[in-house]
């Protein structure tokens, strides 16, 4: 749970910084930057989700086998 909270907090801070950068860029450049960073985030989040699922499965297996 602590790792999930850190991930959410980090993503929130990155989003704030990303929007701050977009506001400083001219229209088309800001849009391109926004789209590029969103595409990168869209590629990374499934990997992070898969790692969390694998961790949860490992924890369940550990608990079941440990008894």
Alpha-carbon span 46 to 24, nearest angstrom:
30
pTM: predicted TM-score of the whole model, two decimal places? 0.58
Domain borders along the chain are 2-66
Q: What is the pLDDT of residue 61?
A: 95
Q: What is the pLDDT of residue 17?
A: 93
Count CA atoms closer than 13 A to 20's CA, side-chain side: 6
**In the numeric block, which tokens belong to residue 6?**
């850190």
Q: What is the pLDDT of residue 53?
A: 93
**Residue ranges of the chain whose pLDDT lies below 50:** none
Q: What is the pLDDT of residue 67?
A: 63
């Amino acid at each position: 749970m602590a790792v999930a909270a850190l991930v959410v907090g980090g993503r929130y801070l990155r989003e704030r910084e990303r929007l701050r950068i977009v506001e400083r860029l001219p229209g088309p450049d800001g849009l391109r930057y926004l789209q590029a960073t969103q595409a990168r985030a869209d590629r990374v989040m499934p990997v992070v989700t898969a790692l969390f699922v694998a961790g949860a499965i490992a924890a369940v297996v550990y608990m079941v086998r440990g008894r």
